[in-house]
Amino acid sequence: MQQSSQPVVSSQAGIHPQLTARVLRHRDHRWQRPVADHSRRAFAVAGQRAAAHSGSLILDAGCGTGASSLCLARRCGDALVIGVDKSQARLGRGLDGPRPDNLLLLRADLVDFWRLAAEAGWQLARHCIFYPNPWPKPGHLGRRWHAHPVLPSLLALGGELELRTNWETYAMEWEATLTLHGWSVRREIVTADAAAVVSPFERKYLASGHHCWRVLAADPER
Ligand SMILES: C[S@@+](CC[C@H](N)C(=O)[O-])C[C@H]1O[C@@H](n2cnc3c(N)ncnc32)[C@H](O)[C@@H]1O
């Protein structure tokens, strides 16, 4: 039976006309907002786990319940998978049963977490951003991660970067932004193949018959 999730509706047609100017401004100016103390405490927990881990690191940024992080941890047993979300109510919800040792679910604000990780010199093997809030109103451009001043820190973490979204415009803007930063990028449709599906949101959207997109990008430095 088909479920009925609503597709993203926006008055914005195509890539936002101010995207390039916004991205270049953030690329060329360091963001100065102070990091909150609670973010430093949360990052210290992640830092200790990362330091104790000898394998690679995967960050599931905005992981929601952490179902996608759990899926990644099971599939990539040698990696430490860190799922970060600001919502304590969501984190771990519905994840019954034992969790693998290579999984850490952490409440933190990504705006600080990304900057602290970049300052600490983290280099990720994989960085996942699955179904961020698309902020579809044109006036909300600055809230989208690719047009946010934190983006240079997010990109400094390197690795294979994967965005998934059900709003094609978001995927197009993400692709355009990473290209401006010199990354090589591929945008494609996500199929309903069970092996490809990792996030509850994409499961929901695909079950409703929507298209979902993913943007895969590689760090130009590696
Ligand atoms: C649409 S949900 C997607 C959840 C999950 N990735 C999935 O695909 O099922 C977006 C998630 O990003 C989280 N989020 C948004 N802004 C955040 C921030 N600044 N720091 C941490 N998490 C954030 C929200 O709490 C929410 O759980």
Going residue by residue through the chain, which has 222 residues, state the pLDDT in tens, using 9 for 90 and above. Answer: 445 788 899 999 999 999 999 999 999 998 999 999 999 999 999 999 999 999 999 999 999 999 999 999 999 999 999 999 999 999 999 999 899 999 999 999 999 999 999 999 999 999 999 999 999 999 999 999 999 999 999 999 999 999 999 999 999 999 999 999 999 999 999 887 766 888 989 889 988 888 899 999 988 777
**Rounded to whole angstroms, how far apart are CA atoms 24 and 71?**
35
Which amino acid appears at position 25 of this protein?
R
Exposed, middle or buried by CB within 10 Å (0-12, 13-18, 19+), for 35?
Answer: middle
H helices of the chain, in order, are 19-28, 37-52, 67-75, 110-119, 151-156, 168-180, 200-207
- Pocket lining: 201 vs ligand 1, CB cutoff 6 Å: yes
Indicate the SS3 state at residue 186.
strand
Architecture of the CATH domain 55-218: 3-Layer(aba) Sandwich (3.40)
Query: Of 101, 157, 88, which is closest to residue 129 (Cα–Cα)?
Result: 157
Contact (Cβ atoms closer than 8 angstroms) between residue 60 and residue 81 = yes
DSSP code, position 191: P
Query: Of 53, 180, 42, which is closest to residue 111 (Cα–Cα)?
Result: 42
- Rg from Cα positions in the chain: 17
Per-residue pLDDT, 192:
77
Q: Write down the residue that tokens 């319940």 correspond to.
A: 65
Per-residue pLDDT, 1:
40
- Pocket lining: 63 vs ligand 1, CB cutoff 6 Å: yes
Report CA(64)–ligand 1 centroid distance (Å): 5
Per-residue pLDDT, 194:
67
Per-residue pLDDT, 2:
47
| Ligand 1 atom at minimum distance from 132 CA | 10
Q: Write down the residue that tokens 């973490």 correspond to.
A: 157
Between vectors from CA 119 to CA 218 and to CA 121, what angle results, nearest 5°?
Answer: 55
- Domain residues of the chain, as ranges? 55-218
The arrangement of strands across the sheet holding 57-61 comes to 103-107, 80-85, 57-61, 126-130, 160-165, 212-218, 184-190
Report CA(63)–ligand 1 centroid distance (Å): 6
